[in-house]
């Protein structure tokens, strides 16, 4: 039962943090260390149940649960085949998907070859705390800057392919641990002149193909190592997936309602505080 409880806790953390710009990685790594979950993969070690290989794969698969929450919430808007849409609306939906595909390109070009290297060499408290704090400061600075300029791109139909590609470049930066995929894309979109709501929605949609691709990649690597899953491991994985999806649903709804009247400064402050927590946890308690 301890593994199921761990899956529930990590699923809750993933569901809350995947779409809030506060770094799901930083939170999950802290939680895993507090719960003594093995996370360091030894390529020479024999694969056993609930080892680091499983939990590494688990942390990526449950991200897909969070993505399904977005798909369910925005299904009608993202469905170009809906019988409720007229010809123009279907065209606009296809156009949105084309923007998303273009936005994913930088992550494919940069993320695929560098993802494992980043995890191996930069997954430490020094890097994670630095990215948490730096991006936290940037959110505060950008929000202050936006108060003095006119925001023209308030809807996603104001997108361009160049803008989508530029936001995708910001997403590629999120391969650095602690950055936050949603944080990087939202921040990039804000810098490029999008409104908070439009920036956040495009970040949601950009996550769909990105996280599907990452999950398939990690699952493939897991099974290519010769790993198999026991019934309990599969149950644990499904529990984490479902919990992540349900919690992410509420997190997405909360965030979109919150942004109707507020800005991202509070998330910037939170990131800075969490960054110092990671420094303390890593430097003094060896929890990172």
> Which sequence spans correspond to the domains of the chain?
2-283
Inform me whether the pLDDT recorded for 288 exceeds 90.
no
pLDDT at 1: 79
pLDDT at 38: 82
Q: Does residue 12 contact residue 243 with C-beta atoms inside 8 Å? A: yes
Residues forming a β-bridge with 79: none
DSSP-derived secondary structure for the chain: -HHHHHHHHHHHHHHHHTTTTT-HHHHHHHHHHHTT------TTSPP-TT-HHHHHHHHHHHHHHHHHHHHHHTHHHH-TT-TTS-HHHHHHHHHHHHHHHHHHHHIIIIIHHHHHHHHHHH-SHHHHHHHHHHHHHHHHHHHHHHTTS---B-SGGG--HHHHHHHHHHHHGGGSTTS-HHHHHHHHHHHTTB-HHHHHHHHHHHHHHHHHHHHHHHHHHHHHTT----HHHHHHHHHHHHHHHHHHHHHHHHHHHHTTT--SHHHHHHHHHHHHHHHHHHHTS---
pLDDT at 285: 86
Q: What is the pTM of this model?
A: 0.94
CA distance 52 to 37: 8
pLDDT at 48: 61
pLDDT at 52: 86
Residues forming a β-bridge with 153: 194
Q: What is the pLDDT of residues 199-210, one digit of tens each?
A: 999 999 999 999
State mean pLDDT over 38-62.
Answer: 79
How much of the chain exceeds pLDDT 90, in percent? 77
Q: What is the pLDDT of residues 108-141, one digit of tens each?
A: 999 888 988 988 899 999 999 999 999 999 999 9
State mean pLDDT over 262-269.
Answer: 98
Question: Where residue 163 falls among pLDDT bands split at 50, 70, 90?
Answer: very high
CA distance 97 to 206: 9
Phi, psi angles (nearest 5°) of residue 43: -65, -20
pLDDT at 42: 62
pLDDT at 41: 66
Phi, psi angles (nearest 5°) of residue 36: 60, 35
Higher pLDDT, 83 or 141: 141
Sign for the CA dihedral angle at 236, 54, 67, 267 comes to: positive
Q: What is the pLDDT of residues 213-262, one digit of tens each?
A: 999 988 888 888 887 889 999 999 999 999 999 999 999 999 999 999 99
pLDDT at 205: 98
Inform me whether the pLDDT recorded for 277 exceeds 90.
yes
Comparing CA positions, the residue from 70, 75, 77 lying closest to residue 251 is: 70
């Amino acid at each position: 039962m301890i593994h199921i409880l761990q899956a529930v806790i990590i699923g809750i953390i993933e569901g809350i943090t995947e779409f809030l710009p506060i770094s799901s990685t930083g939170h999950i790594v802290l939680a895993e260390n507090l719960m003594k979950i093995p996370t360091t993969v030894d390529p020479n070690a024999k694969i056993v149940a609930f080892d680091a290989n499983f939990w590494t794969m688990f942390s990526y698969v449950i991200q897909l649960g969070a993505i399904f929450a977005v798909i369910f919430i925005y299904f009608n808007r993202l469905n170009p085949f809906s019988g409720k849409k007229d010809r123009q609306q279907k065209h606009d939906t296809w156009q949105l998907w084309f923007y998303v595909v273009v936005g994913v390109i930088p992550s494919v070009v940069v993320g695929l070859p560098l993802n494992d290297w980043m995890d191996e060499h930069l997954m430490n408290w020094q890097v994670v705390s630095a990215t948490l704090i730096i991006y936290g400061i940037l959110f505060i600075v950008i929000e202050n800057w936006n108060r003095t300029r006119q925001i023209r791109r308030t809807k996603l139909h104001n997108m361009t392919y160049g803008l989508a590609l530029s936001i995708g470049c910001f997403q590629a930066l999120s391969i650095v641990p602690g950055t936050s995929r949603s944080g990087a894309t939202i921040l990039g979109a804000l810098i490029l002149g999008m409104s908070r709501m439009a920036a956040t929605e495009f970040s949601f949609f950009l996550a769909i193909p990105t996280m599907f691709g990452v999950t398939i990649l990690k699952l493939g690597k897991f099974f290519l190592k010769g790993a198999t899953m026991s019934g309990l491991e599969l149950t644990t994985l499904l529990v984490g997936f479902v919990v992540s999806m349900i919690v992410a649903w509420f997190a997405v709804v909360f965030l979109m309602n919150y942004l109707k009247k507020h800005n991202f400064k509070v998330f910037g402050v939170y990131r800075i505080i969490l960054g110092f927590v990671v420094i303390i946890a890593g430097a003094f308690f060896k929890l990172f």
